[in-house]
Amino acid sequence: MSSFILLFGCLGLGLLLQRVKAFPRNSAQVLNQFIIYISMPALALYFIPEVMLNSSVLLPVAVAWICFGASALFFWSLGKTFGWSQKLVGCLIITAGFGNTSFVGLPVIEALFGPESVETVILIDQPGTFVVLSTLGIALAASYSRGAANGRAIFRKILTFPPFLAFLLGLVLNLLNLHFSADMKDVFQRLGSTVSPLALVSVGLQLRPEWRSKHWGFLALGLAFQLILAPALILGLYYGVFGLRGELLQICVLEAAMAPMITASIVAASYGLKPRLASMMVGFGIPISFITLAFWYWILNFVIG
């Protein structure tokens, strides 16, 4: 319950801080940079060295890769058909292609399936969502923000993205079976725990609903993909093609149905990919997702069993 209070509390706090004149106008950008340079790398260094790497992790890890690939294909096709701008297409691909598999996903899944389910959530979030965002997500953001792909520049963006560097370091430590001391892990955990509250405050600072905005139709389309089409795709593949059953299937589908990822919206905004729409995707997507998650939970329990 405390996670949900923190979630909506920080979002509301960001909205309130918009009215505080003493608060700098670029506060959201400063918070975003702190998250990217400090909080996210700390989170990677806390989790990645401890992840168990074996064949059993493939299906959970693949959830994020499949959803992002489907989002890229879906919105790229629509953009070509209707002549949308590069920045609009890039924003929709990134914000609708990544689910909030950690901050929203972790408390929801733990509440539904118990503490033992956290390990599966970490697999979906860290080697899955986190790595896709740090590589393909950054590459796409860099490409669409410039309007044309520059391979060398995009590669440099990926290699200089702090969370990705932290991930590589964590992966090397994992493969070498090396671990940080308990004190260092505690430091990383505390720094990493600032991701969600700071990101939500940042979203709240940028969330300014404009009822005459041209973004409402795109918002509805992006949320429809993230909350309905993406989990339907994972359900069809994992249940119908891969024959997955039981709790693992339920967790994979529900994680695919989570609200848009806060950090993904920050990346989109940082690259100038329709920042207002990116903030709206998170600000409206989080509360709406609780309704759609209840629907998917009912489907998984009473239709599939």
Q: Are 195 and 43 in contact (CB under 8 A)?
A: yes
**CA-CA distance, 281 to 222, in Å (whole number)?**
7
Burial class (CB within 10 angstroms; exposed 0-12, middle 13-18, buried 19+) of 165: middle
Residue 298: which pLDDT band, with cuts at 50, 70 and 90?
A: very high
Identify the three-state secondary structure at position 213.
coil
Q: Is 11 left (phi over 0), alpha (psi -120 to 50) or beta?
A: alpha
Share of the chain above pLDDT 90, in %: 37
3-state SS record for 230-271 = HHHHHHHHHHHHCCCCHHHHHHHHHHHCCCECHHHHHHHHHC
Task: Report yes or no on 127 lying in a domain.
Answer: yes
Res. 8 pLDDT band, cuts 50 70 90: confident
Q: What is the extent of the structural domain holding 262? A: 2-20+31-207+215-304
Looking at residue 250, what is its pLDDT? 94
What is Dmax (Cα atoms) for the chain? 57
Q: 34 near 201, Cβ under 8 Å?
A: no
Whether pLDDT at 202 is above 60: yes
Predicted local confidence at residue 253, as pLDDT? 95
Distance, in Å, from the CA atom of 296 to the CA atom of 240, rounded to the nearest integer, reads 16
Task: Please count the other Cβ atoms lying within 10 Å of the Cβ belonging to residue 53.
Answer: 13
Q: What angle do CA 114, 116, 122 make, to 5 degrees?
A: 110
Its sign, for the CA torsion 15, 17, 20, 26, is negative
Rounded distance, CA 206 to CA 251, Å? 31
Residues in contact with 255: Cβ distance below 8 Å, sequence separation at least 6, in sequence order: 63, 99, 101, 105, 109, 121, 124
33-54 pLDDT, tens digit each: 888 899 878 888 988 888 776 6
Q: Is 99 helix (H, G, I), strand (E, B) or coil?
A: strand
Say if residue 256's pLDDT is above 80: yes
Whole-angstrom Cα distance, residue 268 to residue 90? 8
Model pLDDT for residues 11-38, shown as the tens digit of each residue: 788 889 888 888 887 888 888 888 889 9
pLDDT at 225 over 60: yes
Q: Specify the amino acid at residue 211.
A: W
pLDDT digits (tens, 9 = 90+) for 133-167: 888 898 899 888 865 556 676 677 777 878 888 88
Rounded mean pLDDT, 261-286: 88
25 falls within a domain: no
Q: Tell me, what DSSP letter sits at residue 55?
A: G
Asked whether residue 26 is assigned to any structural domain, the reply reads: no
β-partners of residue 260 are 99
Question: In the predicted model, what is the mean pLDDT of residues 283-289?
Answer: 87
The whole-angstrom separation of Cα 153 and Cα 158 is 9
Global model pTM greater than 0.85 = no
Dist. CA 134–CA 161, nearest whole Å: 7
At 10 the pLDDT is 84
Q: Would you state the pLDDT for residue 50?
A: 81
Place of tokens 């959970």: 60
| Residue 63: count of CB within 10 angstroms of its CB | 28
* 175-194 mean pLDDT: 91
Instruction: Tell me if 149 is assigned to some domain.
Output: yes
107-111, 180-184, 249-253, range with the lowest pLDDT: 107-111
Lowest mean pLDDT among 49-53, 59-63, 102-106, 191-195: 102-106
Residue 278 covered by a domain: yes
Q: What is the pLDDT of residues 107-122, one digit of tens each?
A: 678 778 877 777 787 7
In a domain, 237, yes or no: yes
Instruction: Output the domain CATH number for residue 290.
Output: 1.20.1530.20
Q: How far is CA 133 from CA 56, 193, 201, in A?
A: 22, 19, 21
Number of domains the chain contains = 1
